[in-house]
Amino acid sequence: MTVTITEAGNTNKLELTTSPHLHNQWTTKKVMWMVVAALAPSLLAAVLFFGIYQLLIITTAVVFAVGTEYAIQTVRKQKLSVVDGSAALTGLLLALTLPPNFSLSSTAIGSIVAIGLGKQIFGGLGYNIFNPALVGRAFLQAAFPVAITTWSTNKFAVDSVTSATPLAAFKFDRITAGLSEMFLGSTGGSLGETSALAILIGGIFLIAVGIVNWRIPFSMIIGMIVFGAIFNFIDPVKYPAPLFHLFAGGFLFAAFFMATDWVTSPVTNKGMWIFGFGISFVLIVIRLFGGLPEGVMYSILFMNAFVPIINRVTIPKIFGSVKGAAA
């Protein structure tokens, strides 16, 4: 609502919106594009380690994610939200969890499922329960179990040990890859997941600008070190050292970019701790006792389902009250 006034020869239209009249200038769109920017180092690492073809996978994933959102919203006659960048981000995240040289048609299917089943079926951005990119990824895992665990050789791999994913090598052959290779990323693995360095650059950037709440990655990492150390202490031969867990598989990528998805993680600070520890716990159980070498995707999806409950049990105590809010 506006009202027109004339004052000292000027005619001004005055807005009558309510307080506060200032805003920190963040928008949904800005947030999404910032996350995309934070993924740039991982994207570069993917191309560097696995070749230019990976750009095709990424492009396919993004185009189909955006296209699916556009199509669904057009059919449902909803306001088009494609410019907010969230669909593009989902596509990008999905692509970075895929193995190098993955088939483009399967990538497209993954994106369609991520947006269709992961997001729009719940009512679009803000209403989905599960991380859309992980829904797409889980679907591909179920539909193409062989293709999605076929790892092409990393161009910088020093020997056959590092060409398999470190987790699979450990799980099936009890071989631990070198930590420095895992840190830089010259091992086998998914596009965006091999280089811890690239992930940390983007992740720390997101924490610095206030998009990622540090509690989630931090509690996941601490959880992983603690749980890993306990098992490693029990039987160092059977269970790998805690640091191996941190740098292996998609753990770090998930800790900074997947578990931290606003919509599907808890809203309270305390809840974020529970969520992060929970993911690490489920993950270590899957890694050490499950049939799969990698399980971070499932552990996050699993904890996503508990977010409403976590939110309910971590309602902050109202300032000055002795008991909880609902008391």
Q: Which residues bind another protein (CB under 8 A)?
A: 3, 5, 7-10, 12-31, 81, 84, 124-127, 210, 213, 262-269, 272, 315-322, 325-326
Residue-by-residue DSSP string for 12-75: EEEE-PPSP-------HHHHHHHHHHHTHHHHHHHHHHH-THHHHHHHHHHHHHHHHHHHHHHH
Report the C-alpha gap between 108 and 58 in whole angstroms. 10
Report the C-alpha gap between 44 and 56 in whole angstroms. 13
Q: Residue 280: in which H helix or E strand, if any?
A: helix 269-289
**Could you tell me which residues come within 8 angstroms of residue 301 by beta carbon, excluding any fewer than 6 positions away?**
130, 131, 134, 135, 138
In degrees rounded to 5, what are phi and psi of residue 34?
-65, -40
CB nearer to another protein: give 272 or 284: 272
CB of 47 to another protein, least distance (A): 30
One-letter amino acid of 226: V
Tell me the pairing of strands 10-15 and 2-7: antiparallel
Q: Residue 166: in which H helix or E strand, if any?
A: helix 166-173
Residue 20: asked if its preceding bond is cis (omega within 30°), the reply is yes
Report the C-alpha gap between 135 and 180 in whole angstroms. 31
CB nearer to another protein: give 52 or 327: 327
CB nearer to another protein: give 2 or 150: 2
CB of 303 to another protein, least distance (A): 15
CB of 261 to another protein, least distance (A): 9
CB of 93 to another protein, least distance (A): 16
CB nearer to another protein: give 133 or 196: 133
CB nearer to another protein: give 7 or 159: 7
CB of 317 to another protein, least distance (A): 6
CB nearer to another protein: give 57 or 72: 72
CB of 11 to another protein, least distance (A): 8
CB nearer to another protein: give 169 or 301: 301
CB nearer to another protein: give 143 or 318: 318
CB nearer to another protein: give 176 or 268: 268
Report the C-alpha gap between 73 and 92 in whole angstroms. 20
The neighbour count for residue 67, using CB atoms within 10 Å, is 17
CB of 316 to another protein, least distance (A): 4
Q: Residue 124: in which H helix or E strand, if any?
A: none
Query: Based on the number of CB atoms within 10 Å of its own CB, is 153 exposed (0-12), middle (13-18) or buried (19 or more)?
Result: middle
CB of 182 to another protein, least distance (A): 31
CB of 170 to another protein, least distance (A): 36
Report the C-alpha gap between 25 and 306 in whole angstroms. 32
